[in-house]
Structure 1
Amino acid sequence: MSTARVDHLVTSGQFSLDGGTWEVDNNVWIVGDDETAVVIDAAHDADAIAAAVGDRRLLAIVCTHAHNDHIDAAPALAERTGARIWLHPDDAPLWRQTHPDREPDQWLADGQVIETAGTDLTVLHTPGHAPGAVCLYAPGLGTVFTGDTLFQGGPGATGRSFSHFPTIIDSIRDRLLTLPPETVVRTGHGDSTTIGDEAPHLDEWIARGH
């Protein structure tokens, strides 16, 4: 029986890529119960994330992709907690831009299941925003953690290195919009939404080339 719940933290810092830097607020998601937890995207502030985890045993730090604002606090959090860092191997080049001296501990694979507090997080490889972008689908919680693949109002940005608009559209269409419409979409930045709220707008996103 699942006792899992989702805790939410917002951390602030900088996103840097292709020579530009932007101030950003990131969503950090913690899935677990009173004993154990998994962190999705260790952004900016290892101290704040560790405080939110509390005295629970941190089983894993799962990276939805390797843009620096989603992984900058991961090594420090891993060092504090002993948790292993998971990333899809296609994002290794991006990871090394931020952490050249520290590889992830394990590689994520499409279809892999990460278990926490009696609930399953299924890895969906959803390239486009980044080559190794993944979403984590938790059917028992009725939610999907989409990182920067799908937001309220459309796809993640594809205007920078390692990103590709037709690919993110394929990922969203084939991997996310096929989920139950009531599935809550918990994003890497900004407000949550649902699959049912976003699905009708796919053709609009394609038309405007986002």
Structure 2
Amino acid sequence: MTRGGVPATRTLDHLTVTKISVGPMDNNAYLLRCGDDQVLVDAANDAPALLELIGPAGLSAVVTTHRHGDHWQALSAVVEATGARSLAHADDATEIPVVTDTLAEGDKVRVGECELEVIHIVGHTPGSIALLYRDPNGHGHLWTGDSLFPGGVGNTQKDAARFASLIDDVEHKLFDRLPDDTWFYPGHGKDSTLGTERPHLAEWRERGW
């Protein structure tokens, strides 16, 4: 999808996922709805568009996947307008304008009766996270921020230690734990599945990015 385009919606049995692209860097923001509750993943930019998407149903929380500024430009405005909690991993929280509660590995973020598991992925930033929803009637759904994209892991600025940490966490915490039909939603660009990307893990390690 493109910035300013029509949001894309995927309806699961219990959770509805709406994806919108915002801002000059075409960031993806995701509105998750379960029952009467809504949670936003990355208030990246364009607060008016996000608030229109949220609508009168309101918002219980915004989860910021990591500290980089293109992922939180609209955060303060969205939190002020909705009264939502602002959640981020403790290791990135001081670099994000407003954080009301910090997250850690294994924490759960509730969206109504649905539950998102926090997975700490170190490398793109110290406090990057992914969020996992295990659909009881289907496959898993994973929001990866800038840690995993179709075609590779996130940018580590050619820092070998950061890349090693990132590829290790992505491989061991995501690919080793979750099946091929797990659908993932990155911070920019198109979605994919772990099964589509799995054959390329060794290639990513070899090239170093």
Letter in 2 for 1:4: L
Q: Look up the match of 1:164.
A: 162
TM-score of the superposed pair, with normalisation by structure 1: 0.87
Q: Look up the match of 1:205.
A: 204
Secondary structure of 1:200 counterpart: helix
Tell me which moved more, 131-140 or 83-92: 83-92
Q: Look up the match of 1:152.
A: 150
Contact 2:134–2:140 under 8 Å retained in 1: yes
How far the C-alpha of 1:11 sits from its partner, in A, is 0.2
Secondary structure of 1:55 counterpart: helix
State the percentage of identical aligned residues: 38
How far the C-alpha of 1:94 sits from its partner, in A, is 3.2
Secondary structure of 1:7 counterpart: strand
Runs of 4+ deviating beyond 3 Å: none
How far the C-alpha of 1:89 sits from its partner, in A, is 1.2
Give distance in 1, aligned partners of 2:140 and 2:16: 11
Instruction: Report 1:1-210 matches (<5 A).
Output: 3-13=14-24, 24-33=25-34, 35-95=36-96, 99=97, 103-140=98-135, 142-159=140-157, 164-177=162-175, 178-210=177-209
Give distance in 2, aligned partners of 1:137 and 1:88: 15
Give distance in 1, aligned partners of 2:193 and 2:141: 8
Give distance in 1, aligned partners of 2:15 and 2:170: 26
How far the C-alpha of 1:117 sits from its partner, in A, is 3.1
Q: Look up the match of 1:19.
A: none
Deviations 1:76-118 (A, max 9, x none): 10000000110111113433xxx3xxx4101011101111132
How far the C-alpha of 1:34 sits from its partner, in A, is 5.9
Give distance in 1, aligned partners of 2:129 and 2:89: 7
How far the C-alpha of 1:44 sits from its partner, in A, is 1.0
RMSD over aligned Cα atoms: 1.7
Give distance in 2, aligned partners of 1:30 and 1:197: 24
How far the C-alpha of 1:46 sits from its partner, in A, is 1.2
Give distance in 2, aligned partners of 1:25 and 1:43: 9
Aligned pair count reads 192
How far the C-alpha of 1:160 sits from its partner, in A, is 7.4
Gaps of 5+ in 2: 1-12
